[in-house]
Each structure stands twice: as structure tokens, then as C-alpha cells.
């Protein structure tokens, strides 16, 4: 018997009222009944779960007072005039979503289609690939604190990509997804599901951006990655929401026997951005590389929570999160490595490095280990330090102005992470995004 | 003709006076060696002129082509034509030599103009060949994991690329074996085309066998106490710094 959900004042859920949900359901009423049932169940979960509280251990150091659900709207009228960002490197295919609705993208080539590759908006997937989609949709529990926002995403999502790569198919060029929030106060619910079957290989790149870089916004995104036995998946997410967006992005990664997943999340935008990432190493030989780069400036707060779950022997994971902090920005990193009793010979690393470019910036780190096997190698660590004064003088003594010198040092600091990406074109796009952001 | 004039310069570290009224004029194309025992203020002089924030200038002036540089920030002094070859150059992880030198040259062009990549790499490779530096070094992070000799050659490479009016070379010979010393000295000699003025700071006469100076100055207790030509360095090597100390003591007695 479960307890009754606590009574809540209507204002807690802000604009996410039952009327709002009813009109959402009406808008997607043409979709299969199982999908609508799933949404209703998710909506109930959202309603029953409380907002994070000040004493909630999973939200330690977070500015929970900043989590308000009334500063956005559920307007779903896309601004059709928004141009899809042009491709700056060769892509396998592109999808774009504007305020949760699919825009025309660059279609999959007939050759890839013939090989059984699927890359389509989720609303197409629920109709045409129901079995495949349904069996994987939110199959992994979100359990790092944002369950309420994961439920909200499931209840309201319309925008996002479904990627399926069948056994043995290897694709070198990236699949690209743009999630665009348009207009002041837009609420968006990006959802991504990627399934790579045995020995498949693919790269997925997601861009999250707002048309108005200063407008208010709300984003609750979910991202599920499945790498089947021997599969190789590279995932890159670039979060560049408006500077007044409250953002949640909840990633789950499943890595099966001998599979390899590299995920790199670049965090640039948002006012308060929470990112949760849980890698589950489920088969021997599975390896997960978890990377993040953050430029925190102004009053921005970036809150990152990670879990490396080693559930099988001989699995590896390597987490490297690097934050550059300017102005009065804050970062929070809380990471845990859990090694199950049967996961002998686990090799797990976790490292959070903070480069402080301002005396008023604040980085918080909570690294953790929970090891139940006896033959493992696990290390974790967090460092935080200011730019080295001798290094600065060295750069300045060459004629480089202090601002440009700091920028060079930030890029130098980030390079260790960027260098792990094989695709040079992608690396250079990321460098440009970071550079553009540092100048604004 | 360019000229660097150091006028009665006084430098303190914290409350401690280190350079105590030093004057020196360096003309374009000249090489001046400053020799002296450890702790006599040679490195402090070089870093203070470059604008290091830990060194306070408490008196005197430094004029580059008649303009005082003391009010300028370190990067402004560098763009005005001063260069410091560091005794212990910093490592800059993640920043390649190519990008580093490029940023330094771009800083001289300003925001409006972009450095031409083709001619930049042409020049970089030319200078690397001149200094016998493997071209693979362009993609290595500045000084990271470099040997002592590689660090010093990297300093000379930067000097060659940035083409300063005056370069202060701080203990460029320290930590080098004889082969590395010869390569570094050859590199410096190739840059002695009459355009560049050099202040060569060294503890040992050995370097001056390879980079033959026009003038030699002996620095002791924050001042230049003797000046002469290259023969002074030879004499100093033969008789040791104790000789200078003894002479000074005799003079002041």
C-alpha cells in the first residue's frame, strides 16, 4: 500500500496545471492509446512528487529556491520562420524541433534506410516503430533526484529524436538534433532515445538553444542511450539555452558487454541548469567515458550529479568533468561510483576539476565511492584552483592581453577533454561555441 | 635607431630593495651581458622591466625609444617591443606552441585584422628550421614535458617570431648541457642581424664563448659595479666573483 501523495498548493506546479495537461492530451490525441496512457501515468507521477527541498541530500548545495514552475508558458505555436542552423560538418541526417514540434530536417539517406537505420521524431516512432520504442522508452529509472522533472518530460514531450542502428551497421558521420526554444517563457521537453544494436557504431550530436539568448525559458529534457554488445556510441550534447532558462537534463546510459560509450556534455547556457547522468555498465568489458565541459559565468548555476553503476565484472568507466568559473557563477558536482559485489576487476575513475577565474565564483564538489567488491581499482578526486599567476604573466609577457590570456588558459584546460573526441570537425565546432559564449 | 635606457632603477620585492639604482643604455643591435653572483638582482631586473606584478619599481625609469614603459601593463610592454626569455618558462597545458605564438602575433594586429594562416605557418616553420626544432613541436603544448634545452629553444623560437626590439634573456644557459647550449647560442646568433638589442643575463662566462657580447657588466648587490668588453668576462671567470667583492670592499674602505 502506498501513501497518498501529499496535498500541495496549486502554485507548486506553476503553469503545469491539469487544464494544461488536458489540452496537451487533446493535441496529441491522434497518437496510439499506449502512448497516451503512458503520458497520463507520468502526469500522475509528476503531480504526486514534491519539488526538491532544502534538506534533500540529492539537492545539496543547489539553489532549490530558484526552482519555480511559473515563469514559463506551454505555448506550442512554433515560430515557423526560425532557420535551422546550417550544418558545419558532414552529417548522416538532421532533425530540428522548435518549441517541441518537429521542423523539416535533412533526411536519412536511402542507403542508411535500407540498412534498417531509423532516425525520426519520437511522435513518428510511437506510430511506426511502437514495439521497439515502447520497450526502451524510459526503461531506466531516473534516480538522481529529478524524478519529478523526468515525469514531467514523459507527460509533455513531443519533441525529440529516436535513433536506431541495427546490428553491425557503422556510421561515421554524426546524426544531429537541434532543440530550439522560441519566444519568451517557452517551455520545452526534449526527449532522446538512441538504441545501438550489437557492434553498431554511431555518433549523435544534440544542440539545445534559444532564439532569444536573454529571454526566460524552461527545459526538462530526458536522454536515454542504449549500447548493445560491442556497440560504439559517441554522444555530444551542447546546452546553450537562454541565460534565463531553468533547465533539467537527465541522461541514462546503458552499456552492455564490450560496448563503449563516450558522452560529452558541454554546458554554456541557462540561469540554473541541473544535469544528471547515470551510466550503467551491465556486461563484462563495457566501458563508459563520461565527459563534461562547463563555462559558468555571470550568476549562472550549474548543478551536475553523476552515477557510475558497475553491475558486471571487468567493466570500466572514466568520468572527467571540467568547469571554468567566472564572475559570481556557481557549480556543484556530486558524483558517485557504485561497484556491485559481482563487479570484480572494475576500473573506475571520477574526476572533477574547477578552474576559478574570479574570486567570487564558487565550486562545490562531493565525490563519492560505494564499493562492494574486493578486487577493484577506483579513484576519485576533485580539485579547484585559480589561474596560475606565473602562467598569466608568461602569456602577458608575450603581448597577449589578460582577457585573451584567460581565454587561452580556459581552452588549454578544456583541451584534455576535447582531445578525447575523435572527430576533429566536431571538436572545432565545440571550440567555436565555447569561444562565442565566452565573449558574450 | 631604437634605444633602451634604464635610469637609476630601483626595484623591491615586498619591503626588500633588490635593485638599488641601476643604469644601462642598450642600443639596437648591441649585446650586453650582465654577469654576477646569485642573489644579486639580475633576474629581478629582467622581470621588473617586463612588468612582473611581484616586483615593485620604487625609483628610476625605463625608457623604450624615449617613452617610459613603467605605466604600461606587461602585455603592452611586450607589444611595444620588449621580450623576456624566461629562466623557468611556465608550462601551458592544452595550448599548442602554434596557437600560443599565433595568439601573441594576433594581439599585435588587434581585433580588426586576422593573421594570415599560410604565411604564419611558413614563417613559423622557417624559424623552427633555423633553430633546429622538429616541426612536430608545433602541436605540442607549450613547455609541457619539455627538456631544459627544449624549453630554452622554445623561448628563442618565440623571440624569433615576435621580433622584439629588445630582449632580456634570463639565465638562458642554466640547466643546459654543452650540446644544448651550442644549439641555443647558434639560434641567438642567427637572430643577431643588427635589429635586435639583447641583455644577456648569466652567471657563467661559458655562454659568452658562444654568444660574444659587445659589452659586459658586472652586477653586485643591486648595482652595476664594473663595465667593460668581453675580456672582462674572461677575467671574471679566471679570478672569480670574490675578486669583485674584494675590490669593492677595498674601494669603500
Domain ranges of chain B: 3-88+164-252
- The CATH T-level fold of domain B3-88+164-252 is Rossmann fold (3.40.50)
What is the per-residue pLDDT across A144-203, written as a single tens digit (0 to 9) for each?
Answer: 999 999 999 999 999 999 999 999 999 999 999 999 999 889 999 999 999 999 999 999
> Rounded to an integer, what distance in angstroms lies between the CA atom of residue B87 and that of residue B144?
15
Q: How many CA atoms within 13 Å lie on the side-chain side of B241?
A: 17
Q: What b-and-e string marks burial along A159-192, b requiring 16 or more CB atoms within 10 Å of the CB? A: bbbbbbbeeebebebbbbbbbbbbbbbbbbbbbb
* Residue A77: pLDDT band with limits 50, 70, 90: low
**B67, exposed or middle or buried, with CB in 10 Å at 0-12, 13-18, 19+?**
exposed
pLDDT of A2: 47
Residue A420 CB neighbour total at 10 angstroms: 15
- The Cα of B68 is separated from the nearest Cα of chain A by a number of Å equal to 17
Least confident of A114-123, B21-30, B204-213, B241-250: B241-250
**Which grid coordinates are listed for A159?**
519533441
Please name the residue that has the C-alpha cell 545501438: A196
> Rounded to an integer, what distance in angstroms lies between the CA atom of residue B224 and that of residue B217?
6
Query: Which residues lie below 8 Å from residue A339, measured CB to CB, with a gap of 6+?
Result: A310, A346, A348, A369, A370, A371, A372, A373, A376, A378
Cβ within 8 Å, pair A390-B95: no
Mean per-residue pLDDT over chain A, rounded? 93
What's the distance, CA B37 to chain centroid? 17
* Residue A76: pLDDT band with limits 50, 70, 90: low
* Residue B193: pLDDT band with limits 50, 70, 90: confident
Strands B92-96 and B56-64: unpaired
Please name the residue that has the C-alpha cell 631586473: B45
- Radius of gyration, CA atoms only, chain A: 21
Q: What are phi and psi of A372, to 5 degrees?
A: -110, 0
> Rounded to an integer, what distance in angstroms lies between the CA atom of residue A291 and that of residue A422?
14
Is there a contact between A202 and A165 (Cβ–Cβ < 8 Å)? yes
Residues of chain A with pLDDT > 70: what percent? 95
Is there a contact between B226 and B232 (Cβ–Cβ < 8 Å)? yes
Among the ranges A326-340, B102-116, B143-157, B198-212, which has the highest mean pLDDT value?
A326-340
> Rounded to an integer, what distance in angstroms lies between the CA atom of residue A416 and that of residue A407?
15
Instruction: Reply yes or no on whether the pLDDT at A382 is more than 60.
Output: yes
> Rounded to an integer, what distance in angstroms lies between the CA atom of residue A39 and that of residue A22?
11
Is there a contact between A119 and A93 (Cβ–Cβ < 8 Å)? yes
Q: How many CA atoms within 13 Å lie on the side-chain side of B23?
A: 3
- The Cα of A409 is separated from the nearest Cα of chain B by a number of Å equal to 7
Cβ within 8 Å, pair B92-A408: yes
Residue among A16, A286, A292, A270 nearest A154 (CA): A16
Nearest by CB to A412, from B79, B95, B104: name it: B95
What is the per-residue pLDDT across A104-130, written as a single tens digit (0 to 9) for each?
Answer: 778 899 999 999 999 999 999 999 999
Residue among A264, A283, A373, A280 nearest A322 (CA): A264
**Which grid coordinates are listed for A343?**
563487479
What is the per-residue pLDDT across A285-316, written as a single tens digit (0 to 9) for each?
Answer: 999 999 999 999 999 999 999 999 999 999 99
Cβ within 8 Å, pair B100-A398: yes
What is the per-residue pLDDT across A319-361, written as a single tens digit (0 to 9) for each?
Answer: 999 999 999 999 999 999 999 999 999 999 999 999 999 999 9
Instruction: Reply yes or no on whether the pLDDT at A421 is more than 60.
Output: yes
> Rounded to an integer, what distance in angstroms lies between the CA atom of residue B25 and that of residue B240?
26
Least confident of A74-78, A124-128, B132-136: A74-78
- Minimum CA–CA partner of B46 in chain A: A397
Residue among A220, A90, A215 nearest A160 (CA): A220
Is there a contact between B247 and B232 (Cβ–Cβ < 8 Å)? no
- The Cα of A295 is separated from the nearest Cα of chain B by a number of Å equal to 17
Cβ within 8 Å, pair A398-B51: no
Residues of chain A with pLDDT > 90: what percent? 87
pLDDT of A1: 41
Cβ within 8 Å, pair A408-B162: no
pLDDT of A213: 87
Count of residues in chain A: 440
* Residue B55: pLDDT band with limits 50, 70, 90: very high
- Tell which B residues from 146 to 205 touch A, by Cβ distance under 8 Å: 158, 162
What is the per-residue pLDDT across A93-106, written as a single tens digit (0 to 9) for each?
Answer: 999 999 999 987 78
A402 and B CB contact within 8 Å? yes
B90 and A CB contact within 8 Å? yes
B92 and A CB contact within 8 Å? yes
Residue A385 CB neighbour total at 10 angstroms: 10
Residue among B251, B253, B240 nearest B37 (CA): B240
ipTM of the complex: 0.96
Cβ within 8 Å, pair B92-A391: yes
Nearest by CB to A401, from B93, B99, B107: name it: B107
Instruction: Reply yes or no on whether the pLDDT at A83 is more than 80.
Output: no
**Which grid coordinates are listed for A334?**
556530486
- The Cα of B91 is separated from the nearest Cα of chain A by a number of Å equal to 7
B140 and A CB contact within 8 Å? no
Mean per-residue pLDDT over chain B, rounded? 93
DSSP B155-210: HHHHHHHH--SEEEEESTTTT--HHHHHHHHHHHHHT-SSS-EEEEEES-SGGGGT
> Rounded to an integer, what distance in angstroms lies between the CA atom of residue A383 and that of residue A391?
18
Q: State whether the Cα torsion B18-B21-B27-B31 is positive or negative.
A: negative
pLDDT of A440: 58
pLDDT of A340: 97
Cβ within 8 Å, pair A399-B104: yes
Is there a contact between A202 and A196 (Cβ–Cβ < 8 Å)? yes
Q: Which residues pair with A338 in a beta bridge?
A: A309, A370
All residues of chain B having their beta carbon less than 8 Å from the beta carbon of residue A397 are 50-51, 74-75, 77-78, 83-84, 86
- The Cα of B183 is separated from the nearest Cα of chain A by a number of Å equal to 23
For residue A63, the SS3 value is coil
Question: What integer is the mean pLDDT of A74-81?
Answer: 63
A413 and B CB contact within 8 Å? yes
Instruction: Reply yes or no on whether the pLDDT at A81 is more than 90.
Output: no
B116 and A CB contact within 8 Å? no
Please name the residue that has the C-alpha cell 667593460: B228
**Which grid coordinates are listed for A284?**
563484462
All residues of chain B having their beta carbon less than 8 Å from the beta carbon of residue A388 are 90
Cβ within 8 Å, pair B93-A415: yes
Is there a contact between A174 and A89 (Cβ–Cβ < 8 Å)? yes
Amino acid at each position: 500500500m502506498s501513501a497518498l501523495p501529499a496535498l500541495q498548493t496549486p502554485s507548486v506546479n506553476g503553469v503545469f496545471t491539469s487544464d494544461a495537461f488536458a489540452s496537451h492530451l487533446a493535441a496529441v490525441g491522434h497518437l496510439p492509446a499506449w502512448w497516451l496512457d503512458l503520458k497520463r501515468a507520468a502526469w500522475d507521477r509528476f503531480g504526486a512528487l514534491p519539488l526538491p527541498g532544502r534538506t534533500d541530500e540529492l539537492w545539496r548545495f543547489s539553489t532549490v529556491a530558484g526552482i519555480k514552475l511559473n515563469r514559463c508558458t506551454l505555448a506550442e505555436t512554433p515560430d515557423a520562420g526560425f532557420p535551422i542552423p546550417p550544418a558545419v560538418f558532414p552529417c548522416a541526417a538532421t532533425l530540428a524541433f522548435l518549441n517541441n514540434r518537429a521542423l523539416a530536417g535533412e533526411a536519412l539517406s536511402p542507403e542508411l534506410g535500407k540498412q534498417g537505420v531509423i532516425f525520426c521524431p519520437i511522435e513518428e516512432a510511437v506510430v511506426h516503430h511502437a514495439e521497439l520504442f515502447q520497450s526502451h522508452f524510459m526503461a531506466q529509472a531516473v534516480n538522481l533526484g529529478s524524478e519529478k522533472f523526468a515525469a514531467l518530460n514523459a507527460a509533455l514531450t513531443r519533441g525529440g529524436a529516436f535513433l536506431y542502428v541495427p546490428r553491425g551497421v557503422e556510421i561515421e558521420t554524426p546524426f544531429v538534433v537541434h532543440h530550439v526554444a522560441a519566444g519568451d517563457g517557452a517551455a520545452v521537453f526534449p526527449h532522446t532515445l538512441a538504441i545501438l544494436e550489437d557492434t553498431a557504431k554511431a555518433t549523435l550530436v544534440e544542440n539545445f538553444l534559444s532564439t532569444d539568448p536573454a529571454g526566460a525559458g524552461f527545459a526538462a529534457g530526458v536522454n536515454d542511450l542504449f549500447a548493445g554488445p560491442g556497440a560504439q556510441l559517441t554522444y555530444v550534447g551542447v546546452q546553450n539555452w537562454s541565460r534565463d532558462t531553468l533547465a533539467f537534463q537527465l541522461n541514462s546510459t546503458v552499456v552492455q558487454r564490450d560496448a563503449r560509450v563516450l558522452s560529452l556534455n558541454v554546458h554554456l547556457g541557462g540561469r540554473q541548469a541541473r544535469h544528471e547522468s547515470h551510466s550503467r555498465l551491465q556486461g563484462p568489458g563495457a566501458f563508459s567515458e563520461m565527459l563534461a565541459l562547463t563555462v559558468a559565468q555571470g550568476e549562472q548555476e550549474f548543478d551536475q550529479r553523476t552515477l557510475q553503476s558497475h553491475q558486471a565484472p571487468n567493466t570500466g568507466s572514466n568520468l572527467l568533468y571540467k568547469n571554468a568559473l567566472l564572475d559570481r557563477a556557481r557549480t556543484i558536482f556530486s558524483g558517485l561510483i557504485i561497484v556491485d559485489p559481482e563487479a570484480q576487476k572494475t576500473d573506475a575513475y571520477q574526476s572533477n576539476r574547477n578552474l576559478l577565474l574570479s574570486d567570487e565564483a564558487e565550486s562545490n564538489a562531493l565525490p563519492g565511492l560505494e564499493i562492494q567488491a574486493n578486487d577493484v581499482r577506483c579513484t576519485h578526486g576533485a580539485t579547484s584552483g585559480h589561474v596560475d599567476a606565473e602562467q598569466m604573466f608568461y602569456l602577458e609577457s608575450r603581448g597577449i592581453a589578460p582577457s585573451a590570456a584567460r581565454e587561452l588558459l580556459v581552452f588549454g584546460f578544456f583541451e584534455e577533454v576535447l582531445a578525447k573526441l575523435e572527430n576533429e570537425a566536431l571538436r572545432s565546432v565545440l571550440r567555436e561555441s565555447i569561444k562565442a559564449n565566452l565573449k558574450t | 635607431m631604437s634605444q633602451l635606457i634604464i635610469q637609476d632603477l630601483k626595484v623591491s620585492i615586498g619591503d626588500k630593495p633588490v635593485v638599488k639604482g641601476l643604469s644601462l643604455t642598450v642600443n639596437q643591435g648591441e649585446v650586453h651581458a650582465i654577469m654576477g653572483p646569485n642573489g644579486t638582482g639580475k633576474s629581478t631586473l629582467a622581470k621588473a622591466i617586463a612588468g612582473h606584478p611581484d616586483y615593485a619599481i620604487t625609483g628610476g625609469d625605463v625608457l623604450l625609444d624615449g617613452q617610459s614603459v613603467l605605466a604600461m601593463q606587461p602585455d603592452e610592454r611586450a607589444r611595444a617591443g620588449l621580450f623576456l626569455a624566461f629562466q623557468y618558462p611556465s608550462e601551458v597545458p592544452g595550448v599548442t606552441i602554434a596557437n600560443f605564438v599565433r595568439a601573441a602575433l594576433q594581439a599585435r594586429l588587434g581585433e580588426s585584422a586576422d593573421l594570415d594562416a599560410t604565411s604564419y605557418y611558413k614563417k613559423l616553420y622557417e624559424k623552427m628550421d633555423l633553430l633546429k626544432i622538429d616541426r612536430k613541436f608545433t602541436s605540442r603544448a607549450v613547455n609541457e614535458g619539455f627538456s631544459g634545452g627544449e624549453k630554452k629553444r622554445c623561448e628563442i623560437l618565440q623571440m624569433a617570431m615576435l621580433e622584439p626590439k629588445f630582449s632580456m634573456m634570463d639565465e638562458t644557459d642554466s640547466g643546459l648541457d654543452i650540446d644544448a647550449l651550442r644549439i641555443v647560442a647558434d639560434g641567438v646568433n642567427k637572430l643577431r642581424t643588427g635589429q635586435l638589442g639583447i641583455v644577456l643575463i648569466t652567471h657563467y662566462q661559458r655562454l659568452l664563448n658562444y654568444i660574444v657580447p659587445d659589452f659586459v657588466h658586472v652586477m653586485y648587490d643591486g648595482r652595476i659595479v664594473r663595465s667593460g668588453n668581453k675580456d672582462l668576462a674572461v677575467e671574471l671567470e679566471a679570478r672569480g666573483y670574490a675578486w669583485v667583492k674584494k675590490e669593492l670592499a677595498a674601494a669603500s674602505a
